[in-house]
Amino acid sequence: MISLKKLPNGFEYIDIKNNSAEAKIALNGAHVFHYKRVGEEPVLWLSEKTEFEEGTSIRGGIPICWPWFGINEDKNLPAHGFARNSKFKIIKQDEINKDMSSVTFKLENKEYELSLHVEVGAKLKLELKTTNIDTKPFKITQAFHTYFNVSDILHVEIDGLNNKPYLDALTMKQEKQNGSITFKEEVDRVYQEVDTTIVLKDANRTLHVENFGSSSAVIWNPWIDKCKRMSLAKNDMREDAYKEFVCIESANAFDDFIVLEPNESHTLKAIIY
């Protein structure tokens, strides 16, 4: 069943339930903020302090970073672009079968068309398609900034990136991954040459992330001090929330940028299961 619902303040979201899974997707940012398979814990982490308001990004779930990832050269522009704070239109809904449902959202103006196609079933599939409808080239960086719900960050291990080069955003140095990724401090890395499935191993389960249309991925956890600073600055998560999530971001980041000529399209795709 697919239904459009509203919170008391008018905030709109799509509620999806089928025999395999359930999900909730806000029209604000086309933001998937809940996904869980039947009989299991939620796959996505969502801050209980999130205030659902139009024009304000949601802390947790899968924010869409677009048309730029990170800080823009123009410091007056918002970090991670404007898509996550923009209201999308629903252009298609489909009950594919008893185990799978899909919804497609669109954001457009005279220069571009941006659509997000979401399939909810035993796997969560996302396809973010950018089309240049302008008369000049259009450069983008982007990401699915996915917050994964974990039992305890100390018990997390990420595989699939061994021997991959990465930029350590904390030191701005190029490094190379040696073995599995574990967490004992703040981690903020942009991995390059990503061409395999990323595997998140938690104490209670194993999750997989497959990426298409990109060769970069971001691994992030703010750890103790930054989490406290973020909590004080925005009050949208607890000071110790870093224990409960890790971000694995399917991305076109930094040198993995995309240049679209007029009438060209590009699709960033992620499959989570």
Q: How many domains does the chain have?
A: 1
CA-CA distance, 256 to 211, in Å (whole number)?
13
Q: What is the pLDDT of residue 72?
A: 76
H or E segment and range at residue 166: strand 165-168
What is d(CA 91, CA 104) in angstroms, rounded to the nearest whole number? Answer: 6
For residue 71, pLDDT beyond 90:
no
- How many angstroms separate the CA atoms of 217 and 195, rounded? 10
At residue 6, the pLDDT reads: 96
Position 74 scores a pLDDT of 74
pLDDT at 79 over 90: no
List residues bridging with 79 in a β-sheet: none
Catalytic pick among 249, 261, 264, 266: 249
Q: What is the pLDDT of residue 96?
A: 95
- 54 phi/psi in degrees, rounded to 5: -65, 140
Neighbours of 91 (CB within 10 A): 11
Question: Would the pLDDT of 93 be above 90?
Answer: yes
> Residue 78: what pLDDT?
77
pLDDT digits (tens, 9 = 90+) for 128-182: 999 999 999 999 999 999 999 999 999 999 999 999 999 999 999 999 999 999 9
Distance between CA 158 and CA 72 in Å, rounded?
Answer: 29
Question: Which residues sit opposite 116 in a β-bridge?
Answer: 105, 128
Residues in the chain: 273
Confidence band for 2, pLDDT divided at 50, 70 and 90:
very high
Q: What is the residue-averaged pLDDT of the chain? A: 96
CB of 63 closer than 8 Å to CB of 57: yes
d(CA 81, CA 63): 11
Are 204 and 151 within 8 A, CB to CB? yes
**């999750």: which residue's tokens?**
207
Pick from 23-27, 218-222, 231-235, 250-254: least confident:
231-235
Residue 48 known to be catalytic? no
**Residue range 19-31: mean pLDDT, rounded:** 98
Q: What is the pLDDT of residue 81?
A: 92
DSSP letter, residue 242: G
Question: Which of 119, 120, 116, 118 shows the shortest CA–CA distance to 106?
Answer: 116
- Residue 187, classed as helix, strand or coil, is strand
Query: What CATH number corresponds to the domain at position 69?
Result: 2.70.98.10
> What whole-number distance in Å separates Cα of residue 20 and Cα of residue 38?
6
Looking at the predicted structure, is the pLDDT value of residue 28 above 80?
A: yes
Rounded mean pLDDT, 226-246: 94
Q: Which domain holds residue 161?
A: 2-272
Residue 140 pLDDT: 96
The DSSP result for 226-263, as a single string, is HHHHHHHHH-SS-TTGGGGEEEEEEEE-GGG-EEEPTT
Q: Choose the catalytic residue: 80, 145, 244, 266.
A: 145
Query: Quick check: 234 pLDDT over 90?
Result: no
> What letter does residue 88 receive in the DSSP assignment?
P
Question: Is 117 a residue of the active site?
Answer: no
DSSP-H helix ranges across the chain: 223-234
Give the pLDDT confidence score for residue 76 in this predicted structure: 73
